[in-house]
Structure 1
């Protein structure tokens, strides 16, 4: 039973390296947050990116403030990734423990 729980945890745990790779390439759309289990803030980042780029293209420059805010958020996330992944992995472990009982 313990080995089964360990296998479930290993299958469900998130990797800090994979999160940083997603952050580096797709951080501006919140992909790293979706991966780490933060769906609401990931959706907010995606919406902010879409809004900002739409306004830049359609209104010629009016969306730069949204994109600047998003860029600052993405940079701050670089420091928050280890704690986000750790929290996600703890939630995964707690879910496995509660199902095992």
Structure 2
């Protein structure tokens, strides 16, 4: 018998931006999106010295779309 799993919940762009705004240098928004490796990198380097935190300001919508597409396909 085939085992079915419930689809993973989609991530929200607004929540990601809130996490980015308050805890971005700690990488909490990356952990939220399931990007554990990148979250650890941000945690250890203060958001890669703040540069990647600023980069995320402009790329969060695309990152969330990518994560949600992967979740819809059952990848993450």
TM category (shorter chain) comes to 0.7 to 0.9
Unaligned runs of 5+ residues in structure 1 are 50-66, 97-101
Map of 1:75 onto structure 2: 54
- TM-score, normalising length from structure 1? 0.63
How does 1:4-23 map onto structure 2 within 5 Å? 8-9=6-7, 12-23=9-20
Map of 2:72 onto structure 1: 93
How does 1:16-55 map onto structure 2 within 5 Å? 16-49=13-46
Count of paired positions:
71
Counting helix residues as a fraction of each chain, which structure ranks higher?
1
Which protein has the larger Cα radius of gyration, Structure 1 or Structure 2? 1
Runs (4+) of structure 1 exceeding 3 A deviation are none
Which structure's relative contact order is higher, taking Cα pairs within 8 Å and 6+ residues apart? Answer: 2
